[in-house]
Amino acid sequence: MNIFLDAMGGDHAPYEIIKGAIDAIKEYDVSLTLVGQRSVIEAELSKYEYPTDKIEILHAETVIENTEEPAMAIRRKPDSSLVVALDEMKNRENAVLISAGSTGALLSGGLLKLGRIKGIKRPALAATLPKSDGVFVLIDTGANADCKPEYLEQFAQLGKIYSENVLGKKNPGIGLVNIGAEAKKGNSLVKASYELLAAGEFNFLGNVEARDIPETKADVLVCDGFTGNIVLKLTEGIAEYLLKGIKTSIMSNSKGKIGGMLIKGNLKSFKKQFDYAEYGGAPFLGVKGGIIKAHGSSDAFAIKNAIRQSIKFIENDVLQKITDNVKKMEA
């Protein structure tokens, strides 16, 4: 098992990234490779007591910033933590790279350096979101802004395999994000995608209206990357806006402040489910290797969960299952 962790990517790198790595090797039976400036990583590591044989360092001189044009940065910075990690991954079996750095750079780097699994039309970024009875996988959440129906059909396959093997769902239900429940609703892309999903070998539950997403029975929600990114980010934005507004209105007078103290504990557990950190990162599915995008503002807890997710990803042989499944669909 080869788990690479980009020690230099993310708002709280390297401190929180490395703390997350330390927490993970203590909690799980796993070894990690931290990628980045050796001196910086060693300085951080020296703050902790840990089984030193479980952490390797892979030196990389530079880091790709969020502001850089992704594809160009990949070509121009062969010595960046991202590119060094991807180059090393090519020589390893069962490898996963976790990065909280530039999403664009991670996606185009993954594509350029690792390539697509044979038969995959477009790799897609999947995210795990909360719903009333657990979680669901939303795919694509931004890798492909313009899509064709056959891409969405494949997103459904990728999401199904991930849901089964990493989230442990049996025969996951597939939903299509749409603006109406009836089969004929939606734009031309969604109408054509509906036909493919209904005809395919899926536990297809039909269209899911945006209003019903938080209560959906589906385990996997399929959409183009533009729509998926809107759904993902708006969910984050509305939840943050509401919880902030509620807090402000509670604290606006002393009666409310007392009430606030009394409900604090109850709210905490509920709010947890809207914390992306609970769910690890977003896997980039369809490339020849494990790529997991951790949230830019990931803390140690989020990184530890992304490492746990990577272990499941490798243990359950997700890449092989995608490869076999695509072969089967082509035949």
The residues binding its own copies (CB under 8 A) are 132, 142, 145-146, 177, 179, 186-188, 190, 209-215, 224-227, 229-243, 245-246, 248-250, 252-253, 255-256, 258-263, 265-267, 269-270, 274
Alpha carbons 258 and 250: distance in angstroms, whole number: 9
The nearest distance, CB 56 to its own copies, in angstroms, is 35
The nearest distance, CB 114 to its own copies, in angstroms, is 24
The nearest distance, CB 230 to its own copies, in angstroms, is 4
Closest CA to 125 of 228, 278, 18, 216: 228
Phi, psi of 256 (to 5 degrees): -65, -40
Residues 212 and 167: beta-carbon distance below 8 Å: no
**Which of 170, 211 has the CB closer to its own copies?**
211
Alpha carbons 168 and 94: distance in angstroms, whole number: 20
The nearest distance, CB 220 to its own copies, in angstroms, is 17
**Which of 145, 329 has the CB closer to its own copies?**
145
**Which of 46, 67 has the CB closer to its own copies?**
67
The nearest distance, CB 146 to its own copies, in angstroms, is 5
**Which of 186, 289 has the CB closer to its own copies?**
186
Q: Is 318 buried (19+), middle (13-18) or exposed (0-12) by CB count in 10 A? A: buried
Type of residue at 303: I
**Which of 216, 309 has the CB closer to its own copies?**
216
Alpha carbons 283 and 261: distance in angstroms, whole number: 38
